[in-house]
Structure 1
Amino acid sequence: MDALILIGGEGTRLKKVVNDRPKPMAEINGRPLLDILVEYISSYGFKRFILCTGYMTDYVKDYYNDKEHSFELVFSEEKTPLGTAGAIKNADKFIRSSPFLIINGDSFCHVDLANFVDFHIKKKSHLSIVVTEIQNARDFGSIVLDDLGRIVKFNEKMDGSGKLVSAGIYLFDRSILSAIPSGIKCSLENDIFPKLVGQCIYGFYTRERLIDIGTPKRYKQAKDFLETHSICKK
């Protein structure tokens, strides 16, 4: 199964503390977060990665070209910013599997990916999203599930209602790609997911903590947490 990692954003809010590299290459315990994500995904048997790049693509290419690795690595580069959904559509020509995994490159949630894949298959889901609980969903937007785990509503950021949020980990069937326009900047959360409500889409709940590095404060919190995490050791 293919694994796409979204790493094309500029990360403007983090530039006060990380301004010489793309946000997913910010270091935690001496390693780029992206390296930690790749190791985590690889531990579940994934052998083919598609890196959806944009900002400072060459930095990422140089890093991996200088390293030996046991997996296939494909770069899907966007020439102009396309947003999270646009980046996935741009990678369409490289995607070989259905379903395929997508993960945000600026966050970490240590969910069991094998269980997530099993859930997706058993539900015959077209789109599955890992969801977790946080105290304040205003910065993230929240997700509402019914008793069967189907997603029935996406609340926008700043709404303040609900505590379930996306952990930035998804399983897509290829059919979902048809909902994303080509060559246009668009967001999964704002432009695509709300249109899919009512279709066969599910939320996979985990108690694992969601860590993201979107701001200097959250980057420090992520470092404090992840530097004690076994998968983040050198």
Structure 2
Amino acid sequence: MKAVILAGGLGTRLSEATNLIPKPMVEIGGKPILWHIMKTYSYYGIDEFIICCGYKQYVIKEYFANYFRHNCDMTVDMSNNSIKILNNYSENWKVTMVDTGLNTMTGGRIKRIQQYVENERFLLTYGDGVADVDILDTLKFHDESNGVLTLTAYKPSGKFGALELDQNTNKVKSFLEKPDGDRNWINAGYFVCEPTVFDYITEGDNTIFERKPLENIAKEGKMQAYLHKGFWKPMDTLRDNVELNEMWDSGDAPWKVWK
């Protein structure tokens, strides 16, 4: 089974870092967030990936084309231009990188990689968020649902503490540190998809996956939500990147399920 990762957006809300590299290549602990996402899938036995590239796609291609050399010790003998590899810390991954266009919408990017998925079930996520989602459990849940698509739903906490006040005296009755936001579940971006998903992408490159395709699948009663109650965090801003790096550096990175 393949995991498809959307990695082609401009990342404008993280422009401090993405003026030179695509957002999925912004680092956490010295490794691109894309690498962290792939390590999560790999932990559950998913080692074949299709990356939907776009903005500065050559950076992603260069990284994986030279991954072996980036992650091993070597001796370079300049007298005869030879290289001796001393060890190998590479991954057992097969990575297909597809240029899906600079301005293509999410649905259009997915449609463009249909030929590489072929007629088989696939996993799908965005290249800018990390989670400790149990991938095998989502697959089991999807099997039991008999649907076209399963999305992982998450209920985020609020950004600020909340006060419970006495309505008559305005005295503070209790204080909640970052309670559930507005108590709504949101799309956390980890999907299990049947190949019939491609049939719902009908507007070419302009198709926004989260609009008509997902809305129509839901209207037909063919979408289920896997409720994830663990950790999930997108990297939308520089502050998010700083927080994720602080978690990693402190040794408290909940998404690090691998050894």
Q: Pick the TM interval, shorter chain.
A: 0.7 to 0.9
Task: Work out whether 1:119 is the aligned partner of 2:141.
Answer: yes
After TM superposition, the structure 1 stretch with the greater mean CA deviation from structure 2, 22-31 or 65-74, is 65-74
Larger Rg: 2
Q: What does residue range 61-140 of structure 1 map to in structure 2 within 5 Å?
A: 61-68=61-68, 69-96=91-118, 98-135=120-157
Name the CA distance, whole Å, in 2 between partners of 1:166 and 1:41.
18
Q: Supply the AA of the counterpart residue of 1:100.
A: F
User: Which residue number in structure 2 is paired with residue 191 of structure 1?
Assistant: 212
- Unmatched tracts of structure 2, length 5 or more: 69-90, 160-180
Note if contact 2:151-2:225 (Cα within 8 Å) is conserved in structure 1: yes
Name the CA distance, whole Å, in 1 between partners of 2:67 and 2:120.
29
User: Which residue number in structure 2 is paired with residue 15 of structure 1?
Assistant: 15
Specify the SS of the correspondent of 1:15.
helix
Note if contact 2:43-2:257 (Cα within 8 Å) is conserved in structure 1: no
Name the CA distance, whole Å, in 2 between partners of 1:90 and 1:226.
34
User: What is the CA distance between 1:178 and its match in structure 2?
Assistant: 0.4
User: What is the CA distance between 1:45 and its match in structure 2?
Assistant: 0.8
Q: What does residue range 191-230 of structure 1 map to in structure 2 within 5 Å?
A: 191-198=212-219, 199-227=221-249, 228-229=252-253
- Unmatched tracts of structure 1, length 5 or more: 138-159
Specify the SS of the correspondent of 1:197.
helix
User: Which residue number in structure 1 is paired with residue 194 of structure 2?
Assistant: 173
In percent, how many aligned pairs have the same letter? 24
Name the CA distance, whole Å, in 1 between partners of 2:240 and 2:130.
12
Name the CA distance, whole Å, in 2 between partners of 1:38 and 1:135.
26
User: What is the CA distance between 1:161 and its match in structure 2?
Assistant: 5.7
Task: Work out whether 1:34 is the aligned partner of 2:34.
Answer: yes
Provide closer, same or farther for how the CA distance between residues 59 and 33 of structure 1 changes in structure 2, counting only shifts above 3 A.
same
User: What is the CA distance between 1:97 and its match in structure 2?
Assistant: 5.3
Q: Supply the AA of the counterpart residue of 1:211.
A: K
User: What is the CA distance between 1:202 and its match in structure 2?
Assistant: 0.2
User: Which residue number in structure 2 is paired with residue 149 of structure 1?
Assistant: none
Post-superposition Cα deviations, 1:5-27, rounded to whole Å, max 9, x if no partner, equal 10000101101244221001001
Name the CA distance, whole Å, in 2 between partners of 1:12 and 1:232.
29
Note if contact 2:28-2:245 (Cα within 8 Å) is conserved in structure 1: yes
Post-superposition Cα deviations, 1:186-233, rounded to whole Å, max 9, x if no partner, equal 222223212222321100001122211111222222222344327389
Post-superposition Cα deviations, 1:162-190, rounded to whole Å, max 9, x if no partner, equal 42111111011111110102532222222
Give the total of aligned pairs. Answer: 212
Post-superposition Cα deviations, 1:73-127, rounded to whole Å, max 9, x if no partner, equal 1112123421111110111011035320001100111110000001001111210
Provide closer, same or farther for how the CA distance between residues 25 and 84 of structure 1 changes in structure 2, counting only shifts above 3 A.
same
Name the CA distance, whole Å, in 2 between partners of 1:79 and 1:88.
11
Name the CA distance, whole Å, in 1 between partners of 2:119 and 2:134.
20
